[in-house]
Amino acid sequence: METSKPTMAQRAEILTQALPYIQKYYNKIVVVKYGGNAMINEELKEAVMGDIVLLSLIGVKVVLVHGGGPEITEMLGKIGKKSEFVDGLRVTDKETVDIVQMVLAGKVNKNLVNLLQSKGGKAIGLCGIDGHMIEAKKADERLGFVGDITKVNVSPILDVLEKGYIPVISTVGYDNDNNVYNINADTVAARIAGELKAESLISMTDTVGLCYDKDDPSTLISKVLVSEAPKLIRDGVISGGMIPKINCCIEAIRRGVRKVFIIDGRIPHSILIETLTDEGIGTMFVSGNKL
């Protein structure tokens, strides 16, 4: 069944409804953690990049933090290297971390910059090594060059934002012995958002958000107070791979981010729905009892 296109009056009404949200986010920093299916599906990728450019053009200071696990796995396969994982984290030996750096800071990062610019945006690609942005140390000897963040310098990000560009950040870090580390994108996005005291952090995932029953989207929890998270973990509502993701959300709030959203990146324009409408989608994390 065909759906009729909105009339000019309906379009104007939509824009009018968005005005309070545009005003709320004007000149504020929003960090978007980009990953999952929205990064693989070309149609969704186009929509996400278009949304980010739109937000940038209406005065939102968007910082895009991205991973690239599937692309890394693909490149390792091309050189005949099998991917190994421990507790869901990629074992990263010296050869693998060279591939990670090449794929994340090179191919993936520059492709995203190019796509943003093709949509009319202004973007500059950065990685955690640039400007000594992300200092790290080994997280676990079993994992090789997988890093835990020890220090973040947001000056390069602020400089790029000040010039009107969208910073596109790949999640590799460094140490003072010239080692390079592969760092989890959720961790990087949360830490950067906290250091920037961002208005919000939006984490794009392949789920509708946090649900009381993970197999039933109708049980979506639309708002979670940070103080409620430990009980939700004890009750098994937050479990498995969702635990580290939620811990990153909590970390961001505790470091000064006002709101953190986990949204379904499989839904076209999910970023705009979350930021510029009453309805919103996904799960919002906040501290205290009031928004």
| Tens digit of each residue's pLDDT (9 = 90 or more) over 55-94 | 999 999 999 999 888 888 889 999 998 888 887 778 899 9
Whole-number pLDDT of residue 290: 45
**Superfamily name with CATH number, domain 25-286:** Acetylglutamate kinase-like (3.40.1160.10)
The stretch 217-236 carries a mean pLDDT of 89
Token pair of 196 as six digits: 């920037």
Supply the pTM of this predicted model: 0.92
CA–CA distance, 207 with 147 (Å, rounded to integer): 26
The stretch 156-175 carries a mean pLDDT of 97
Which of 8-22, 91-105, 133-147, 195-209 shows the lowest per-residue confidence on average (mean pLDDT)? 8-22
Whole-number pLDDT of residue 288: 67
User: Comparing 68 with 31, which gets the higher pLDDT?
Assistant: 31
| Confidence band of 147 (pLDDT split at 50, 70, 90) | very high
The stretch 145-168 carries a mean pLDDT of 97
User: Comparing 245 with 14, which gets the higher pLDDT?
Assistant: 245
Share of the chain above pLDDT 90, in %: 59
pLDDT at 236 over 80: yes
The stretch 168-187 carries a mean pLDDT of 95
pLDDT at 291 over 60: no
| Confidence band of 33 (pLDDT split at 50, 70, 90) | very high
